[in-house]
Amino acid sequence: MTDYDLLVIGAGSGGVRAARVASAHGAKVAIAEEYRVGGTCVIRGCVPKKLLVYGSHFAEDLEDAARFGWQIGSATFDWPTLRDNVQAEVTRLNKIYTENLTTAKVEILLGRAVLTGPNTAEIGGRTLRAGKILIATGAHPHIPECDGAEHGITSNEAFLLEKLPERLAVIGGGYIATEFAGIFHELGTKVTLVNRTGRMLRGYDEQIVERLIHISIAKGIDLRLNAPLERVCKQSNGGLSVEIGGHDPVECDAVMFATGRVPNTRGLGLDKAGVAIDAKGAVIVDADNRSSVPSIYAVGDVTNRVQLTPVAIREGQAFADTEFGGKPTRVDYDAIPSAVFSHPPLAGVGLTESRAHFHLGSAKVYASDFRPMKNVLAGRDERALYKLIVNPANDQVVGAHMIGPDAPEILQMAAVAVKAKLTKAQFDACVAIHPTMAEELVLLK
């Protein structure tokens, strides 16, 4: 006897999609969540982060406005207003996600669910039985093991700060570190970005990343590369001192760790259920999201395949369609676009220039290095860079990469072209929309 056809553990993007679709296919579904419905993206990730990006960008927009004839006068920023408005939007979305699950006839179980066997879990003293169990518990920020680590915060706490720190040290070299360094810098905080290696934003085109580094330094962000974290020391005046290898200590008022994310599998009862995990604690799954236990599946960040919300959603959809909809589906992980909401933002899809040379033996690179029209009139000396990577054997565009205003918005449609395996000649045959930044994509030489 089973209580449910499907029990989903974790009400984030992947789990919610799987639960709703499985229910629509006729399954009896319950979803367990120990915190708030919506998961990382809605509650403490993509959504509130993007709203902070919007808020922080007004610093530059207000500065540029005078060149366009707008007399703003003295402008001041109030952190509690932005913080509280963002949290209000998070609460609104949490309510919508909850209502959507209820409308889809998915039973919501608030509490921590722990596996007790291949088809059972316990929550709040209640034993649940399900024909299939889906683990969609996501991941959490990694905190480095060093003396004084307890003095630091992560992206989770950054959204809820009582006040803006005057000086902030951000530890890390990935997209989360880069984005929050840009946000707090624009809001008026003196930011030092510390990375243990000499490479930032691994996986993105090196030339695009180099452009962002130069712009960030010019804006005033203090960048420390090849600077491994040694310890965080509390000072007598209440401040912090971050000791790093090869550099002077960083004196600051707050330290933010952005050193990766760890799958949420600890204490989940995976060992009792016989579910295999890898060295990083991620649930090992096959192409159909099935774990080592036939009745237990996993999607999203907990599998540590591609830690992106849209990927988790597609995995949840594929799982539900395959297992309950009679429509076997697998996620295609080729040519997944991604973006960094830095200042300015960058985005990319497909092979980078270096990877194209490695995988194809050779590559043609078409690029445009230009100053956006708005920046020209604003007197802002920031240049955009667009690149198309082309396979010389068949003229196929195998990669697109860019940095500049609205780059993620523009890259999305370029990603469709890369996914469709269009050729450079087909890009060239498209008439440009003038004057736009996006027209550079069909004019590249």
What are 227's two structure tokens? 């600077």
3-class secondary structure, 19: helix
Q: Cβ(411)–Cβ(337) under 8 Å? A: yes
State the Cα–Cα distance between residues 184 and 53, nearest whole angstrom: 9
Q: b/e string for 274-311 if b means 16 or more Cβ within 10 A?
A: ebebeeebbbebeeebbbebeebbbbbbbbbbbbbbeb
The DSSP string of 284-340 is P--TTSB-SSTTEEE-GGGGTS---HHHHHHHHHHHHHHHHSS-------TT--EEE
Closest CA to 204 of 50, 301, 338, 386: 338
Tokens 């360094």 label which residue?
Answer: 181
Tokens 């194209």 label which residue?
Answer: 356
* Catalytic residue list: 434
DSSP strand pairing (167-171 vs 190-194): parallel
Closest CA to 234 of 157, 152, 168: 152
Which amino acid, 67? Answer: R
Classify residue 411 by burial, with Cβ atoms within 10 Å: 0-12, 13-18, 19+: buried
State the Cα–Cα distance between residues 36 and 90, nearest whole angstrom: 10
The DSSP string of 207-259 is HHHHHHHHHHHHHT-EEE-S--EEEEEE-TTS-EEEEETTSPPEEESEEEE-S
Cis upstream peptide for 408 (omega within 30°): no
Half-sphere exposure of 197 (CA within 13 A, CB side): 7
